[in-house]
Structure 1
Amino acid sequence: MSVTHDQILNYAGIHVLKKMDLKPADGGIQMPVILDAALAPLEDVLERLVLQGRLEIDRKRQRYALTKAGLQYIGSLIDEAEAVIDEFDEWETADMVAELRARNLDPLRARFLWGWYQGEFDDLVQFQERRGIEPVEYAWAHFITSPAFYANLALDLEDPN
């Protein structure tokens, strides 16, 4: 299962929105308008979120801010993730993938939202270590925008037989 650049931008955007919505004590971040090298891979992601109306630039504070539409989008993603988990929690992977495809739904999106909702990606270094990814990418923005992250997620959707 391959991932497109468009999917990477969408899923990384979902991840960024969650990080921006969380309180700092819970792992939340403030996203500066001028990105340092560690956040530079998010430039296209942030631009897309602004164009979608989910983020806006707070010029006074020189950072991105969630919009009302962005908060509503996060709510709809939570609803979507809960629906996927509620329906498919007890299913075998191959059956779930087949059912999602029969409904013309993207299994990778379902897998991403499942992990996103349950906090599996809140610490991407820990995620990589648990899954045996070598070498570990310590800059989360680099990893969430890399095809390697999504290729690793796609492994969970393969039929083990």
Structure 2
Amino acid sequence: MIVVKRVVGEMLLHFSSLIGESFCIASCPRILKNNTTQIVEPPSTLEGEEEPLPDEFVLVEKSQPDGEVEQIIFSSGGDVDVYELQALCDKVGWPRRPLSKLAAALKNSYMVAALHSVKKLPGSEGNEQKRLIGMARATSDHAFNATIWDVLVDPSYQVLGSRQRKEGKDLCEVT
């Protein structure tokens, strides 16, 4: 569970530095509460002692003047559609990969995290637009190490400049 928490925390840091939002500490205290420099006891054999990680939660919510609400949702427990992922790879300028290999990479990953934009119009209950705007995946030895691969965020959601770099640096220092 400690490896999972560290991987999720690192993925959130990568996403936050790319989209320019300082959401990790405020939105994810349960995930990041374990200081990774502490000595950790071996896992107990009793189930249910640790808080489970949330599969998905809202990182950012923005309201537009016309009443439209956009939520950016982080998820780590769901499937990523390979067609949406291919479209996202195209948007960021990555070379095309065969869909079968994309599917195999996702299936064989230790963890896949995704960012989705969900737009809701006022008065349109159940009629929302959801699209993939970010993805990262990790491989792991399931004991000590994990490697984060393929971090990508839709260019229209990326924030560039010194403000973003400074916030990312501050966030890394806090965690």
Classify the TM-score, shorter chain. under 0.3
Structure with the higher fraction of residues in helix conformation: 1
Q: Normalising to structure 1: TM-score of the pair? A: 0.25
Query: Which protein is richer in strand relative to its size?
Result: 2
TM-score, normalised relative to structure 2: 0.23
